[in-house]
Amino acid sequence: MDQLRCRARDLGIVVGPLSTGRHNGITDVAGILVGHTTVDDGADLHTGVTAVVPTQLGPDRRTLPAAVYSGNGYGKLVGSTQVDELGVLESPIVLTGTLSVFRAADALLGYLMDQRPDGLSFNPLVGETNDGHLSDIRRRPITDEHVLAALTGASGEPPAEGCVGAGTGTTALGFKAGIGTSSRAVPVADRPATVGALVQSNFGGVLTVLGVPLPADELIPDADRTEPPGNSCMIVVATDAPLDARQLGRLARRAVFAMGRVGASYSNTSGDYAIAFSTAPPDQPLIPDGEINPLFAAVMDAVEEALLNSLFTAATTTGVGGHTSHAVPHGTVIRRLSAAGRLPAQA
């Protein structure tokens, strides 16, 4: 089985009872595109840009209902206070490395100005995690061209995962991590709805799969245990369910809660953020709060699986200073889950 492209479900690991969308990714929400630019010189640079582009934003619709939840605000999420204040998203969402976030925000601003030559104010939304364990972040290698390539190259195909885009240099739960995505299709208030999640994983803790702890020092006992700086997570949640900003804030909180399912430590320096937005047409009646529980379940499961995908699709990487971040050993995970009764016994 290809270590580079193996998702949780390829290993028989199924999170929750809900059905996934067609591709089990955030692009299962109609109109959501994802683009990556990867910057990897094979030595000291392992970073990049990931863009989530809602096509519903355009000349006929300048904003979408949205909310941001800060589980721990030790990070940089440019534009978040205006989303909090007004409850709307007015730009694509761009993710990158910590010290490149400001250059990425400026590039996204230029993109928005080109899209709206008559505009006088813009709110680019750009987040980050610290990939300095594997990449020389002080070089701030991200350029306008990298950001524009991710934006203009975004597509509705299944997003690439693992060591790609903003996940090229990230580490989580003691293993090489990266970008992950998942989706759920659920009936809500007598109508179908899709929830999609995309994560940039870079946080500490003990990997936990289906309730089974899988400590890195046990799975790879001789690995480099240098603690990466930062330790953060960015989560993007998109849904076509008609929700307002207040309700989307409730979804965003549950997205951060889902990190606990995979063993997150929520440490002092872990900037854990979730952004949730709805693409539903503005004339649709809102989902009543009393019928919102299926969406909560969908968010929790989709984020949990996206986090697992971000690890299982990543490859061992050696970067700046000779630091190595090791991929999760799939075979060992399967054997331990089988022994714990979470998967069928392996022959």
Spatial contact of 76 and 98, defined as CB atoms under 8 Å apart: yes
Rounded CA gap, 179 and 194, in Å?
20
Per the annotation, the verdict on 278 as an active-site residue is no
Residue 48 Cα distances to 64, 142, 203, angstroms:
26, 7, 18
Query: What region does 198 belong to: left with phi over 0, alpha with psi -120 to 50, or beta?
Result: beta
What is the distance between the alpha carbons of residues 181 and 86, in angstroms, rounded to a whole number? 27
Please give the full DSSP string across 69-109, using - where no structure is assigned. EEEE--S--BTHHHHHHH-EE-S-EEEEEGGGHHHHHHHHH
44 is catalytic: no
Q: Nearest Cα to 84, choosing from 232, 230, 245?
A: 245
Q: Which neighbouring-strand residues pair with 196?
A: 183, 238
Our answer to whether residue 272 is catalytic in this structure is yes
Tell me if residue 68 falls in helix, strand or coil. Answer: strand
Dihedral (CA of 337, 341, 342, 343) sign = positive
Cβ(35)–Cβ(155) under 8 Å? yes
Closest by CA position to 280, among listed 319, 248, 303, 315: 248
Cβ atoms < 10 Å from Cβ of 223: 15
Q: Which of these is catalytic: 232, 278, 310, 325?
A: 232
Structure token pair of residue 269: 């320096």
CA distance 92 to 16: 30
Q: Which of 91, 272, 310, 325 is catalytic?
A: 272
**Catalytic residue (one of 80, 100, 270, 325):** 270
Q: Does residue 201 contact residue 303 with C-beta atoms inside 8 Å?
A: no
Closest by CA position to 182, among listed 41, 344, 16, 20:
20
Which of the residues are catalytic?
A: 232, 270, 272
